[in-house]
Structure formats: C-alpha cells, structure tokens
C-alpha cells in the first residue's frame, strides 16, 4: 500500500551557491557552494530515492513503473506515462544567478527531446535589499535586446524587483529572469533541466573559465510581447488552500495550518507539500510522517483521504 513519501534531497554545487540550504534548511552536505536541493526529481541521471517507510531505497522511476496511475492519477498517467511531470527544488543564491530563460514545450521537444520549463518561485528568505530580475522594464524589440547584449548593458533594460519572504512569481517560458544574490526560493517547475543562459556577469570559475552562453538558441525562445503579469497575488487565510498559480502544468496553493485538517483528494492527481515554515504531520491509513521546514512530501494519487496536523505550519500544496 502506498503512503506519504519523502525522498533524499539531491544537492547541487553551483558557482553562485551558498550555505543557507545547510544552515537554514538543515540539508546535510560538504559541498562548498550548495546552490540547489532537488527535492523531487525524475530528470535523467538525477532520480529521487525514497527516504522513508517500506519503499525506502526505491527510486521514483521504480515507483512510476510499479504503481503507475496509483502514483500519478489516471489522467496524468495517460499523459505522462512513466515520467514524473514536476521537478521540485529549493534554491539558495549567494551570488546572482545568470540571466536566463527557458524554451517552451515545442522548442524543447524539437531541440532537446524535453518538456519546456514553466516554473514558479516562492521567496523562502531574502536578505535586505535582495532582488529578482523578471522581464524587461520597457518595450524591447529583438534588435534592441541584441544591441544591449552586445554592449554588455543588458541590465539597463531588465526589471529588478526587491523581494521579501512570501513574494511569489510565475515564470513562464520565454521570460528573461534571474534570482538575485541573497535570495532563497522554493521552485516548482516542469521536469526539465533546459536553461538558456544569456549573460553571466562576466564571472569565471576556479580555472578561469567563463560558463557557456546560449544566445543563438535564446533569441528564438524569448517572448518579447509578454505582459508584466508575473507577480502572484494570493490570500493567506488559515486552514484553507489559497490559490497561487493555476496553469496547464501545475496548480499551487498556500496553506497555513494551525489545527488538524481533514483532506479529501478528488483531483485524480498526486499531491506534493513543501514545508516553508514550521512543521506538520501527515496521517493516512495508519501511517504518520512529519515534514519540517525545508522538507517535501509526496502523497500518491491512491491516497484519497488524509489529515494534516500542525500548530503553525506554512505549506505549498501542489498537484497536476
């Protein structure tokens, strides 16, 4: 019988990473620059491994092949088969990330045999005056963009947003963006690791090498007519699911739990919960599992009723 599943985080060393995932979220690692914690991944070569219960040590790939629609839901299994559709991360930017964007489904399939990479960010923690780059601060044509890129003045036409904990952004494919130094986010995205890097602040690695840029690919992937609708406004009512992002790839809600909630899964989908503050206990079919700040749990689609108990826990609730 399937039960609430936790997975061993896959930690990634990044040139721009820091130590907050270790010091704030208690991730165990000796990596010098921990940029990302992949909480739930079916990316080739980075498949998540179950960390709890009778399935401990089994891969997400194994669960998909063994449990199929019981894990994903009937409609999701028809669409995705033995491929988990979401990649769930925590990201810590000690330095600015590269300015980048992601291709849409059509381009990603054609060029990389991959899904596109629609994503959202929930600001988990931010230092004073920290910011994100999202979109442009004026109307920009391809020619104007390329001129600024060539002159290394790209930042003059980019939109900088100062951020604080709880701020949420929806990053559609084709939108230029970057996480700024001092920001830690929870990221929910399609299962894809395709990123087009367009500017990397002229920095070099320990060997003096600059990272690869992808400007030839990026110019066709940028949507220059995208409206400035990336800021997500949502309610924070206690003990109810407050809608944040609803798109063809995932639905995410904010859930502040201060009592015991009885939940009914009528979505024909798995549910993912990312704990962004406090801790909560999930109970189903006699099985209990606690998630603390910085942890993630997957409830398979076969679990139709469950409870969440907490005195003061803040969760991101995700389904497809």
- Domain match, 96 and 195 both: yes
Query: Has residue 205 got a pLDDT over 80?
Result: no
User: Mean pLDDT, to the nearest integer, of 213-232?
Assistant: 93
Query: Has residue 210 got a pLDDT over 90?
Result: no
Query: Has residue 206 got a pLDDT over 80?
Result: no
User: Mean pLDDT, to the nearest integer, of 199-220?
Assistant: 87
Residue 124 lies in a domain: yes
Q: Could you give the percent of the chain with pLDDT greater than 70?
A: 100
- Pairing relation of β-strands 119-126 and 183-190? antiparallel
- Domain match, 55 and 199 both: yes
Which one is predicted more confidently, 205 or 271? 271
Residue 226 lies in a domain: no
Last residue of a domain, one of 189, 221, 253: 221
Residue 256 lies in a domain: yes
What digits encode the pLDDT tens for the residues 129-141? 999 999 999 999 9
Query: Has residue 27 got a pLDDT over 90?
Result: yes
What digits encode the pLDDT tens for the residues 76-120? 999 999 999 999 999 999 999 999 999 998 999 999 888 889 999
Q: What is the mean pLDDT of the chain?
A: 95
The angle subtended at Cα 85 by Cα 82 and Cα 88, nearest 5°, is 125
Q: For the domain that residue 194 is a member of, what is the CATH number?
A: 2.60.120.10
Task: Report residue 1's pLDDT band, with 50, 70 and 90 as the boundaries.
Answer: confident
As annotated, the active-site residues are 197
How many domains does the chain divide into? 2
* Residue 253 domain boundaries: 242-319
Last residue of a domain, one of 221, 256, 277: 221
Query: Has residue 153 got a pLDDT over 80?
Result: yes
Last residue of a domain, one of 221, 256, 272: 221
| Residue 72 near residue 303, CB atoms below 8 Å | no
Query: Has residue 209 got a pLDDT over 90?
Result: no
């Amino acid at each position: 019988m399937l039960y609430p599943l936790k997975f061993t985080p896959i930690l990634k060393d990044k040139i721009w990473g820091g130590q907050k995932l270790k010091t704030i979220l208690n991730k165990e690692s000796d990596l010098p620059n921990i940029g990302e914690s992949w909480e739930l991944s079916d990316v080739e070569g980075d498949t998540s491994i179950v960390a709890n219960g009778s399935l401990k040590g089994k891969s997400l790939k194994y669960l998909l092949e063994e449990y199929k629609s019981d894990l994903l839901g009937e409609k999701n299994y028809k669409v995705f088969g033995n491929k988990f559709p979401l990649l769930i991360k925590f990201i810590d930017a000690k330095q600015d990330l590269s300015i980048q964007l992601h291709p849409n489904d059509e381009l990603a399939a054609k060029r990389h045999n991959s899904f596109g990479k629609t994503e959202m960010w929930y600001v988990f923690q931010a230092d004073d005056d920290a910011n994100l780059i999202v979109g442009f601060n004026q109307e920009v044509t391809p020619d104007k963009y390329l001129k600024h890129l060539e002159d290394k003045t790209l930042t003059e036409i980019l939109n900088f947003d100062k951020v604080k904990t709880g701020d949420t952004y929806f990053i559609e494919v084709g939108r230029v963006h970057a996480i700024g130094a001092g920001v830690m986010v929870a990221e929910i995205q399609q299962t894809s690791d395709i990123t087009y890097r367009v500017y990397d602040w002229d920095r070099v690695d320990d060997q003096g090498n600059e990272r690869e840029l992808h400007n030839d690919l990026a110019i066709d992937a940028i949507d220059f007519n995208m409206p400035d609708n990336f800021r997500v406004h949502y309610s924070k009512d206690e003990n109810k699911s407050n809608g944040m992002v609803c798109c063809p790839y995932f639905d995410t809600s904010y859930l502040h739990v201060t009592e015991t909630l009885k939940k009914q899964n009528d979505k024909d989908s798995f549910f993912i919960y990312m704990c962004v503050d406090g801790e909560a206990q999930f109970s189903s079919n006699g099985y209990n599992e606690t998630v603390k700040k910085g942890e993630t749990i997957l409830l398979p689609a076969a679990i139709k009723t469950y409870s969440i108990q907490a005195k003061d826990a803040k969760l991101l609730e995700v389904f497809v």
